[in-house]
Structure 1
Amino acid sequence: ENDRGYYAVQWNAPLDANGVPIPTELVSYPNNIDNFLNDFAISSTNGISLSSSTGAVNYRLGYTNMINSGLIPNSDLNKNSFSLAASSKLWNQLTISTDVNFNLSSADNRPASNRGSNPLQWAYSHPTNIDIRDLEDYGTGSEVLSVSGNHENPYFLAYGVNNSFDRYRIYGNLIANWELSTNFNVMGRFTLNKADEIRETKIAPGYSKEPNNGAYGIVTSNGFERNLDVLGSYKKDWDDFNVNVSAGGNLLYQNSSSISSSSKSGSGLIVPNLFTVQNISSASLNYSNYRSEKVINSVYAMANFGWKDILYMDLTGRNDWSSTLPAENRSYFYPSASLSVLANNIVDMGQNVDMLKLRGGWAQVGNDTGPYRLNATYGNAGQWGDATRLTKSSGLLAPQLLPEQATSLEFGVDVTMFSNRLRFEGTYYMTDNENQILGIPLAASSGFSGVQINAGLMQSKGFEILLGGTPIKTNNWTWNLNVNFTKNETVIIDLVEGVDFIEFWSNAKVKSIGYVKGHVANESDGPEDGLVGNIYSREVRRVTDINSPYFGYPLLGSGMETKWVGEEEYSKIGNYNPDFIMGLQSSLSYKNFTLSMTFDWRSGGQYVSQTYHYMMVNTQTWLDELVYPGDLGGAASQELRDWVVANADQLLLADDLRPVGGPTPEYGGFPESYSGITVYDGFFVPGVLGSYDEDGNFILEGENLGNEGTNFIPYIVSDPWEIGRSKMFDADYIKLREVSLSYSLSNDFTRRMKVENVNFSIYSRNIMLWTKDSGFGVDPERAFQAEGNGGFSQGVERYNVNPWVIPVGFKLGFTF
């Protein structure tokens, strides 16, 4: 333990005359993270645009440059964007317009997240008794840090493990609009979205996972989407009626491809620090390529009807034909209808009511799936000597997939009053998601890891409220205030026959499982509520005999496993979705000055932090979580047992249990001989050992309550790894999201300088964070885990903890 006057042989200990390391004092370095990170992360964005408007031609040219240097050493990001928007009226009836954007993004290094080669992971895991700056000159080989076999130097990961990319993207459209008459026009449109990217990973010698001269990998990926659509529209007004009818079609084509070459994990390079594919031996080369295509053909129609500025009705219908679905199911139709009534135009509500709108709508939306999910194909499994191996997918596909269908019903009311100084919008919605295409796990005995299914029915319900007002409005002062409120929950009503749950993710000994509502997965918990977002884990096994004096006490293992044991069945311990989300936006203006603020509030929900768990087990943090017995430490005794029982609510019956003990005899440590030598850094887990007879009566085999016979173990093995509740936290937070102060100048002076307007603003984001239960500083908003398929596991995080950054930015704009 640091800063207690203890001495130990450390990695940089001096040597005596005989070459024997001399113990030095264990001193903590609390600023290691700050010392590792750059002092500032600078992001500079500059843009210029040029526009012109004449009777026949309008155009706008723009260029934006962004340069970013990150907080992690040797990290960067650069973006350049070019844009052109133009329109020209070739003759009275025909207008041609286009909008083209070209973006170039690149980085010499984007550090890895998650775990493994993440520099932040190892900076957080760095021993506190070593000044992290001593590791910066890692290339000399003069000193060696050996904490464990796979502990990494964060400076090496920042400079010696490089992930670079170059991305080129062009997207835009070309539109021709032909007005055949005052009532009828035809629009034709071509849109394009093309992206090409090259990603490289270069690992220099020195990474524990790549001990053989480092590693290299390169991936080239391409994506392309093209849309061709035509739309004919007719509009007509008759006295109190107006009609707008449109019909058209769309042809969508997508393709994507990738080529990947890399050294096999652990195989290394022929020559160190030469990062080319040719520098990978043929036996060590992993290579793959992928290509996919997708086509959707569509026809659609829309109709809008209005009557006397009182009644409005919208109807739509669309039919898609998708190439990714089986031939008999690839056609799907989805309509919608909505109706709104301006009640203030029916009944005179006085001068204070500007508008009262009642609205309702019903809609269906169809969806297909990704390419090649109907039939199994073979993949490249790499070389085995001279033999090329192929592998079959471990997932069972479904050749009779149906299109997804979402049916929603919505009702709402909109009100504005007092010349728009008071505003209200309220919406209630319910959506039934049927035939959702999901993957569910299968038993290993089936020969497959999972199967694609059309899930039966998931139902989402919620409401959204927006309340806005202008409390102050004078010649010089204006104050606008808006509050928004959102609440939503999704319940699994039905799946398919024989399937009662969906496992969304499994991580850190916890799982996110969605059970069918009413299903009984664990008899002790009763019927499931069916909510999506539920988090499940094993709870501490306890004495369940209500007639036993030990009822509710933890039922422990034996020997070195005399610690908490998890139940066989998983139980619900939380849900990562919030109860509600609120936002507040305030804008106060005085003459040409405007002060704006944005607050966000998330209430409810939980998340599991693996970062907290690793920090707790691998550092002194777990010592800080212990319950110190004071003068009762050092040896088993009846007095200690009585103290434990007297504090049963904290030590035996609580959800969040902690062991009892300390690191030394003076600090409550008990004797343990885990290493073969008796030392006084032991702990004990309060509980009992026993079993049940045929009638369910608890039979005590031994107490582990601090009395004689209590088993003392090292603190490092007392951590309840499999008990998810020990690393679960509330996700509630309030954030001051953004503050900005701007000044706009437009007067005769600026116009004489040929400047129409000058605008200057200063802003900052992520100013403050209030959390209900943040563990050791984890931002609940980052409680998600990136997955290999590009998705995210909500409700669990692992080293997804970035330093809290409060950026300060300046904007200066000129309009000529």
Structure 2
Amino acid sequence: MSYEWLRGHYVNNVNGYAALNYNVNNNIDLTLRPSITTYNFTNTEKLPYSATVYDRPEHKGDYRVDNRSLFESNVEFQAKYHRNAILGFLDVQGMFGGNARTFRFNSEYTTTNYLNVPGVYSFSNSLNSVQAASYNAEMLVLSGYYSLDLGYKSYVTANITGRFDKSSTLPAENNTYFYPSFNLATVISDYVKLPKGISFLKVRGSFASSKSGGTDTYFAPNVSNLAGGGYGYTYYSPYDGPGYDFSQTYTLQPYYSNQNSASYTNTLVGNNIRTAERKAYEAGLDVRFLENRLSLDVTRYRYRDDLIYTADVSESTGYSQLIKNQGKTQNDGWEVTLGGSPIRNKTGLNWDVNVNWFKFVRKWIDNPSGDNWVHSGTRTDLVYDNAFVRTSGGQLVIDQSSGLLLRYTDLGVNAKKVFGHSDPDWQWGITNTFSYKNFSFRFRFDGMVGGVVHDYVRQKSLQGGRHIESTQGKFGEARPDDALGSTGFSYVGEGVNLTGGTISLDPITGKITNEDELTVSKNATKTSVQQYVTRMASIHDLNNIKKTYAKLREVTLTYRLPADLFGKRTVFQNASVSLVGRNLLYFFPSRYKDMDVDQYTQDSGSGLQTPTTRSYGVNLNITF
């Protein structure tokens, strides 16, 4: 397969810039800086006859070509002013400037619809009509910006910035947007006499506004409506061009008799639509003690996001959806860094410690599409889903006729169980460094506490009958009987049967509301192991796990070579050799070590990835 299913990737990149500087006087500088960025690339794919992939049931191969080209130019003018000790106390640095950004992008994607002759990869060999998709984008962004830094002696510093952008791809009524920032900091220890133990004290605060500009960072063609659109890989290329999220467009695709047709969008755009915006507030404290041997840095931040929301509208209008400005979320967080030097000796042993701790909570301020579980005021990362029915004592309820676990939906109820939240409660890291003369030894632990994630690897291996647990214990004892058919099944699931009436569930929480009216008995119905574990893995309930973990992330032993080792005329200033080990220990329940939970810090579910491997290496560092 590796010799026949071939993918080609051909790229040409050109980047260039020039700068012209002019010093008007000792305080004023002018700069003109034009630049260009371009790339052209071609991706090809040759899918051979008989290759089995999703969405190509006839197995007759395909040939695809993906061409993309991007051209971007920026012409920027900037004027700077700087002067110290104005009126004897004020330091000023400022600038203003403008930029004209011209952007042009083209994409053409063409594919056969099966091959007529095996092994001939050309569009003329397409068994059915050749299909293609194209995308073209142009954009002009005119920008103006400014920055002003003010310093009152060494006591207070302030920074004020602002930027205006006018984009040709946004609605004409709101195609200009402004985002400012303000920063203020003061070193209190420079002008206030503090206790002897405090060697440094600084406080800071800031505000910043940012807006999306209606652009996308990466691009990949939409081939979902083309032949074979359901298989293959999606290649993302750098883009940073218009997404046209607020544009009403036609969609071209084949309909009756494979004839191309155009259909107008069924989505309206609000008359006063604006791009999404984030407002960030931050305050911090930096304090050091005992001649800087102990330091503490505390940061408190809050982000508020104004969102874009697509709402349903009456289809009597001729449309089904409306894009508008609605929805607000808030992210509150803390970050604390503690540093210390318990042992400090210029000619002997030194010990430095750095501890980092942080947490954040994301909540809905205004949820325009809330339900019974997530709505305004609740966390945005709430994890809730269908679940297995349980008694008030926590026992799993098993269907008496099939011997399988009962789900809420099996009883016709759309209730949800709240499993927790995907964001961790907090995260941490500790780094210790010991040094003695030319040797140093450093090791770092980190981890997180709280949060839940769905183990997708475990779910799929259970469903496929390949998980080791399905061959151990009671599963292992009953597994051979699966081959005997329904009359020979011998596995009995651990749980209870509820008889004597119909089970009623709360439509929100899924709790049994009539348990007192039912008869509870231990399950005795036999089923197959594979049917049972497949039902276990049919929903996320039993595969949602806590994210709490710790890792020995890195261990480094370094020897710094003596300065005179290579003689007085050596070109080397410093040289060192290190032994490095990474991901050496993983403290996490062994039952779930099929996934690396630290790769899913904010995710509610994992992918089909393998855990990070341990690595060992040697690092030689030479400074000339």
- TM-score, normalization: structure 1? 0.63
Alignment partner of 1:609 is 2:455: yes
- Indicate the residue corresponding to 2:490 in structure 1: 681
Alignment partner of 1:361 is 2:206: yes
Amino acid aligned to 1:376: Q
Change (3 A) 1:483 1:234: same
Q: Distance in 1 between matches of 2:536 and 2:436?
A: 58
- Indicate the residue corresponding to 1:373 in structure 2: 245
Pick the aligned partner of 1:805 from 602, 609, 613.
613
Change (3 A) 1:572 1:256: farther
Cα distance per residue 1:168-189 (max 9 Å; x no partner): 4454643333221111112333
Alignment partner of 1:500 is 2:308: no
- Indicate the residue corresponding to 1:796 in structure 2: 605
- Indicate the residue corresponding to 1:780 in structure 2: 597
1:490 positional shift? 1.2
1:692 positional shift? 6.3
1:271 positional shift? 3.0
- Indicate the residue corresponding to 2:383 in structure 1: 535
8 A contact 1:736–1:768 mirrored in 2: yes
- For residues 249-328 of structure 1, the aligned pairs below 5 Å read 249-264=98-113, 268-283=114-129, 285-328=130-173
Q: In structure 1, list runs of 5 or more residues that go unmatched.
A: 1-155, 502-512, 519-529, 545-550, 629-658, 785-792
Pick the aligned partner of 2:407 from 557, 561, 565.
565
- Indicate the residue corresponding to 2:32 in structure 1: 188
Change (3 A) 1:680 1:360: closer
Cα distance per residue 1:30-88 (max 9 Å; x no partner): xxxxxxxxxxxxxxxxxxxxxxxxxxxxxxxxxxxxxxxxxxxxxxxxxxxxxxxxxxx
Pick the aligned partner of 1:752 from 569, 576, 580.
569
Amino acid aligned to 2:44: E
Cα distance per residue 1:146-171 (max 9 Å; x no partner): xxxxxxxxxx5x66544453444454
- For residues 665-680 of structure 1, the aligned pairs below 5 Å read 674=486, 678-680=487-489
8 A contact 2:595–2:611 mirrored in 1: no
Change (3 A) 1:598 1:703: closer
Q: In structure 2, list runs of 5 or more residues that go unmatched.
A: 216-241, 507-512
Moved more, 605-614 or 165-174: 165-174
Q: Distance in 2 between matches of 1:196 and 1:568?
A: 51
Moved more, 760-769 or 607-616: 760-769
8 A contact 1:364–1:408 mirrored in 2: yes
- Indicate the residue corresponding to 1:654 in structure 2: none
CA RMSD of aligned residues (A): 3.8
1:741 positional shift? 3.5
Q: Distance in 2 between matches of 1:624 and 1:430?
A: 47
Amino acid aligned to 1:572: V
- Indicate the residue corresponding to 1:576 in structure 2: 422
- Indicate the residue corresponding to 1:463 in structure 2: 334
Amino acid aligned to 1:614: K
Change (3 A) 1:484 1:410: same
- Indicate the residue corresponding to 1:89 in structure 2: none
- For residues 383-462 of structure 1, the aligned pairs below 5 Å read 385=257, 387-391=259-263, 398=270, 400-434=272-306, 436-438=307-309, 452-462=323-333
Amino acid aligned to 1:563: L
Change (3 A) 1:726 1:516: same
- Indicate the residue corresponding to 2:587 in structure 1: 770
Pick the aligned partner of 2:19 from 170, 175, 179.
175
Change (3 A) 1:693 1:460: closer
8 A contact 1:672–1:679 mirrored in 2: yes
1:461 positional shift? 0.7
- Indicate the residue corresponding to 2:96 in structure 1: 247
Amino acid aligned to 2:32: G
Amino acid aligned to 1:466: T
Q: Distance in 1 between matches of 2:346 and 2:469?
A: 62
Amino acid aligned to 2:407: V
SS of the aligned residue for 2:341 comes to: strand
1:343 positional shift? 1.0
1:223 positional shift? 3.6
- For residues 63-212 of structure 1, the aligned pairs below 5 Å read 156=1, 161-171=5-15, 173-209=17-53, 210=56, 211-212=58-59
Q: Distance in 2 between matches of 1:662 and 1:600?
A: 41
Q: Distance in 1 between matches of 2:70 and 2:521?
A: 62
Change (3 A) 1:804 1:608: same
Q: Distance in 2 between matches of 1:704 and 1:673?
A: 26
Change (3 A) 1:623 1:811: closer
Q: Percent identity?
A: 22
8 A contact 1:586–1:597 mirrored in 2: yes
Cα distance per residue 1:757-800 (max 9 Å; x no partner): 4444443332222224762421113349xxxxxxxx9222231x
- Indicate the residue corresponding to 1:230 in structure 2: 77
Q: Distance in 1 between matches of 2:551 and 2:310?
A: 36
- Indicate the residue corresponding to 1:731 in structure 2: 547
Cα distance per residue 1:706-755 (max 9 Å; x no partner): 3xxx5433333331344321111112222222333444444373552444
Q: Distance in 2 between matches of 1:698 and 1:456?
A: 40
1:289 positional shift? 1.3
1:700 positional shift? 6.5
SS of the aligned residue for 1:328 comes to: helix
SS of the aligned residue for 2:199 comes to: strand
SS of the aligned residue for 1:344 comes to: helix
1:465 positional shift? 1.1
Q: Distance in 2 between matches of 1:317 and 1:570?
A: 46
Cα distance per residue 1:440-467 (max 9 Å; x no partner): 7899999989764423321111111111
- For residues 7-18 of structure 1, the aligned pairs below 5 Å read none
Change (3 A) 1:164 1:769: farther
8 A contact 2:549–2:587 mirrored in 1: yes
Amino acid aligned to 1:208: T
SS of the aligned residue for 1:680 comes to: coil
Q: Distance in 1 between matches of 2:505 and 2:596?
A: 49
8 A contact 1:692–1:699 mirrored in 2: no
Q: Distance in 1 between matches of 2:373 and 2:105?
A: 33
Q: Distance in 2 between matches of 1:802 and 1:451?
A: 41
8 A contact 1:660–1:683 mirrored in 2: no
8 A contact 2:280–2:304 mirrored in 1: yes
Change (3 A) 1:332 1:704: same
Q: Distance in 2 between matches of 1:304 and 1:180?
A: 20
- For residues 652-667 of structure 1, the aligned pairs below 5 Å read 662-663=478-479
Cα distance per residue 1:677-721 (max 9 Å; x no partner): x21334356322432699975696876733xxx543333333134
Change (3 A) 1:624 1:673: closer
8 A contact 1:514–1:533 mirrored in 2: no
Cα distance per residue 1:462-513 (max 9 Å; x no partner): 11111122333333444432221111111111144xx326xxxxxxxxxxx9
8 A contact 2:457–2:594 mirrored in 1: no
8 A contact 2:548–2:588 mirrored in 1: yes
SS of the aligned residue for 1:221 comes to: strand
1:607 positional shift? 1.0
Amino acid aligned to 2:370: D
- TM-score, normalization: structure 2? 0.80
- Indicate the residue corresponding to 2:445 in structure 1: 599
Moved more, 303-312 or 715-724: 715-724
8 A contact 1:581–1:601 mirrored in 2: yes
